[in-house]
Amino acid sequence: GAGVSQSPRYKVAKRGQDVALRCDPISGHVSLFWYQQALGQGPEFLTYFQNEAQLDKSGLPSDRFFAERPEGSVSTLKIQRTQQEDSAVYLCASSLNPSAKNIQYFGAGTRLSVL
Amino acid sequence: GDSVTQMEGPVTLSEEAFLTINCTYTATGYPSLFWYVQYPGEGLQLLLKATKADDKGSNKGFEATYRKETTSFHLEKGSVQVSDSAVYFCALEGGSYIPTFGRGTSLIVHP
DSSP letters along B26-73, please?
Answer: E-SS--EEEEEEE-TTS-EEEEEEE-STT-EEEETTEEEE-BTTTTB-
Per-residue model confidence as pLDDT tens digits over A5-45: 999 999 999 999 999 999 999 999 999 999 999 988 899 99
pLDDT above 60: residue A52: yes
Per-residue model confidence as pLDDT tens digits over B32-42: 999 999 998 88
Nearest-neighbour CA in chain A from B103: distance (Å): 4
Q: Work out the widest C-alpha separation in chain B, in whole angstroms.
A: 43
Interface mutation vs chain B, best among A106, A110, A111, most B CBs within 10 Å: A106
Across the interface, whether the CB atoms of A101 and B44 are under 8 A apart is answered no
- Window 49-68 of A: residues touching B by CB (8 A cutoff) are 56
CA atoms of B20 and B82, how far apart (whole Å) = 16
Residue A2: which region, alpha, beta or left (left: phi > 0; alpha: psi -120 to 50)? alpha
Report angle CA A47, A95, B40 to the nearest 5 degrees: 85
Measured between CA atoms, the residue of chain B closest to residue A36 is: B101
Assign A2 a pLDDT band (cuts: 50, 70, 90). Answer: confident
pLDDT for the residue numbered B110:
96
pLDDT for the residue numbered A101:
61
Per-residue model confidence as pLDDT tens digits over A66-112: 999 999 999 999 999 999 999 999 999 999 877 656 788 999 999 99
pLDDT for the residue numbered B29:
82
Interface check A16 vs B, CB under 8 A: no
Partner residue opposite A100 with nearest CB, options B43, B97, B102: B97
| Residue range B64-89: mean pLDDT, rounded | 97
Per-residue model confidence as pLDDT tens digits over B36-74: 999 988 889 999 999 999 999 999 999 999 999 999 999
